[in-house]
Amino acid sequence: MNLLGRLTGIYIAREAKCPLELVSDATAIQDKGLEGDRYGSRAGTFSTWPGGGRHVTLIEEEALEAIARESKLELPAASARRNLTTRGVALNHLVGKTFQVGEVTLVGIRLCEPCEHMEQLSGVAGVRTALVHRGGLRAEIVTGGVIRVGDEISLV
Q: What is the pLDDT of residues 42-90, one digit of tens each?
A: 655 555 655 677 899 999 999 999 999 999 999 999 999 899 999 999 9
Q: Is residue 76 part of a domain?
A: no
Give the integer Cα–Cα distance in Å for 133 and 137: 10
What is the span of the domain harbouring residue 130?
Answer: 2-66+81-155
Q: Is residue 75 part of a domain?
A: no
Q: What mean pLDDT do residues 127-132 have?
A: 91
Q: How many domains does the chain have?
A: 1
Q: Is residue 71 part of a domain?
A: no
Q: Is residue 19 part of a domain?
A: yes
Q: Is residue 72 part of a domain?
A: no
Give the pTM.
0.91
Q: What mean pLDDT do residues 97-124 have?
A: 91
Residues in the chain: 156
H helical segments located in the chain:
61-71, 116-122, 127-130
Q: Is residue 47 part of a domain?
A: yes
Give the integer Cα–Cα distance in Å for 103 and 80: 25
| pLDDT over threshold 70, residue 132 | yes
Query: The domain spanning residue 22 has which CATH number?
Result: 2.40.33.20
Mean of the per-residue pLDDT values for the chain?
90
> Residue 48 in contact with residue 74, Cβ under 8 Å?
no
SS (H, E, C) 65-82: HHHHHHHCCCCCHHHHCC
CA nearest neighbour of 58 among 126, 119, 147: 147
% residues pLDDT > 70 (the chain): 91
Q: Is residue 55 part of a domain?
A: yes
∠ CA 12-63-54, rounded to 5°: 40
Q: Is residue 39 part of a domain?
A: yes
Question: φ, ψ for residue 85 (rounded to 5)?
Answer: -105, 145
